[in-house]
Amino acid sequence: MKDEDIDRLLQRQPATPDERLLASIRVNIAHSLKQVKPLPSDRTLTLLASGFFVVFSILATIPVRFLAWHVLMAYQAAAYYGLLLVLAVFFAAGITQYMVPGARRRVHPIALIVGEVLAIAALVPLLFGNSTVDRFLHFGEPCLRTGLVASFLFGTIACALLRKGYFVNPRTGSAFIGFFAGLAGFTVLALHCPILNSAHILVWHLGSLLAGGFAGTLAGRIVWR
């Protein structure tokens, strides 16, 4: 029995309903109760979400091959992939805090999304000095498509998994999922694309992150409205 059903029954009765009606409502409520499985701890959920991000990024890159991995120098790979992993952990923690009622809010969504974009935008020119625009559109469009497809797949799977839980604030949670998915698409490109050109990465790779993030945010709000 839902809240609306109870309200409807009470509205049909006098100000003081009789005991038979109250007993009937109690029985219906008792029969509709279902046992709720407790969620794992915040740390466990964060680790699971981070692990899902890593596994997805690797599996999604296999069809397009790990071309970037073979051209990056050791320090570039460490800084580049290290930043993406740190951001993924923060997003995983942000999603977790909105899955557990009463959980402490440690990560602010707007601050994290802005920080994600600024951190990538600041690191890329430091690691990849080349910024030529030769055949810019020709090489950029395939990366944009790949990033968006990866973001869409990640967001779809994440939504399907997270719908089994309980989002305290679905609208904020959808923003986390949207830009977490955008980060997954960016990571697939970081593993795949061998073009070490800062302009290319900032426009096409980061552009796919932003496009995937906003699209995922909108889709999440439609799903959880």
* pLDDT winner (highest mean) among 25-39, 80-94, 132-146: 80-94
In tens, the pLDDT along 48-72 reads 999 999 999 999 999 999 999 889 9
Interatomic CA distance for residues 105 and 96, integer angstroms:
10
26 shares its domain with 116: no
Same domain flag for 158 and 201:
yes
198 shares a domain with 92:
yes
Q: Does residue 23 sit in the same domain as residue 108?
A: no
Q: Which residues are CB-contacts of 202 (< 8 A; sequence separation ≥ 6)?
A: 121, 124, 125
- Indicate the pLDDT class of residue 8, thresholds 50, 70 and 90: low
Residue 202: pLDDT band (50, 70, 90) is very high
- What amino acid is encoded at 88 in this protein? A
pLDDT score for 164: 63
pLDDT tens digits along 169-183? 777 778 888 999 999
Do both 110 and 27 map to the same domain? no
Q: Are 77 and 179 part of one and the same domain?
A: yes
Q: What is the CA radius of gyration of the chain?
A: 23
Range of the domain at 8: 3-32
Confidence check: pLDDT of 120 > 80: yes
Higher pLDDT, 156 or 55: 55
The reply to whether 12 and 46 lie within a common domain is no
Q: How many other CB atoms sit within 10 Å of the CB of residue 49? A: 23
Does residue 101 fall inside a structural domain? yes
Residue 117 lies in a domain: yes
**pTM, to two decimals:** 0.81
Do 25 and 95 lie in a common domain?
no
Domain assignment of residue 37, yes or no: no
d(C-alpha 164, C-alpha 162), whole Å: 5
Q: What percent of the chain has pLDDT over 90?
A: 51
- Per the structure, how many domains does the chain have? 2
Q: Residues 14, 96: one domain?
A: no
80 falls within a domain: yes
What's the token pair of residue 101? 């009622």
Same domain, 196 and 116: yes
Please check whether residue 98 lies inside any domain of the structure: yes
Residue 88 lies in a domain: yes
Convert the pLDDT of each residue in 205-223 to its tens digit.
999 999 988 987 887 677 6
